[in-house]
Amino acid sequence: MSEDVFDPQSLDFISDPYPVYDRLRASKPIFFHEASQLWFCTRYDDVDALLRDRRLGRSIDHVISREARGLPPEPAEYRPFTKLSANSMFDKEPPDHTRLKMLVHKAFTPRRVKRLHGRIQALADALLDRAQPQGEMDIIAGFATPLPVTVIAELLGVPPADRHYLRPWSQAIVAMYELDHSQEQARRAVQAASDFSDYLRHLARRRREAPEDDLITALAFVEEAGDQLSEDELIATCVLLLNAGHEATVNVIGNGMLALLQHPAQWRALQDEPSLVVTAVEEMMRYDTPLQLFRRWILEDMEYKGISFKQGMQVGLMFGAANRDPARFDRPHTFDIRRRENPHISFGAGVHYCLGAPLARLELQIALGTLARRLPDMKLAGPAPRFRPAYVIRGLEALPVTF
């Protein structure tokens, strides 16, 4: 099998990557892709093991500098983006990651998440109150996007008048995680990082002067043994929570509702047994994973499965392929909302396991349960939905339905 079977820029592949994953998993489960200079892993056991392997990390600059890797200094115009990354828990390794995660956990508590239940339900109902009389809607624009964006904005304390900035900023920033972003995408990401950071810096300073009952205030004052978040760390944490707190949720709702509506018997089963919402959400995350790929740096020379990995190489851990691995999942290509054993890897594993998983599950269960209860006759409308032309972050452009 030649590597050209895997073409992450191909719209056909983006539309349905799973047959390609099957072929790669069977014949070349770990392979080097020249165009992206990445070693890709397709099997569940490898993805899970390497996510937990401390010889790999999200960042490498703390181990070996760019100059030592033979790279030029980061362009000065990238500084707003690189500064944001440098202060983010997402791109740090222990002990820095451990310190930040401990501080954030003290503010972003299970109790704070649990308190959101009623508000999430009210928001979901309000969105459907507006849509239901029309008899049709785009689930992405009318429900999947505004629900989690509003939830995370309210949680953090972003005023309603400013919330329209959040989704464009987030989409510009996360485009940098694609395998082959363009110069224009990089320019937009840097501008968004600068604008987002300036906005949050101003908001955090206001909260320090006049505290409110929101997460930005809690993060501004959280303390552990005399340690606090620096202003730059607070800003990077808020950006991470805003991006991760809604980007994946939007796409789980969209991708998952497409799967449900393409499997009418599953959609009816959810209406007949509302308690299936818990396993349905897990199956939605497994079946069409919103984050298809997670990258790791090789922090030290190492051997794995007979392959010699050198420090400074990068590995692409294919969540989408791992979640359809027949060695781990029975009938992996079957969408089954009753699936009980479902150890999907969509939230990651190891020290970088998703901090917001409890909030995501709460939002998704409420969103899905509300759609099933209030719009039982929902059907797909219009031409076949198209996925956005991006590989790593997998989501639909639109999902028009009637009811």
- Domains along the chain with CATH numbers: 3-402 (1.10.630.10)
- The per-residue pLDDT for 74 is 82
Q: Which helix (H) or strand (E) holds 400?
A: strand 400-402
User: Taking phi first (over 0 means left), then psi (-120 to 50 degrees means alpha), and beta for anything else, what does residue 395 get?
Assistant: beta
What number of other Cβ atoms are within 10 A of residue 272's Cβ? 10
Q: Which two tokens stand for residue 355?
A: 């901090």
Q: pTM for the full model?
A: 0.93
Each residue's pLDDT tens digit, 100-117 = 999 998 999 888 999 999
- The per-residue pLDDT for 2 is 43
Angstrom distances, CA of residue 157 to CA of 194, 214, 326, 367: 20, 5, 44, 22
- The per-residue pLDDT for 61 is 86
- The per-residue pLDDT for 67 is 82
In which residue ranges of the chain is pLDDT below 50? 1-4
Q: Which two tokens stand for residue 197?
A: 């950071």
**Nearest residue to 396 (alpha-carbon basis) of 265, 221, 193, 250:** 250
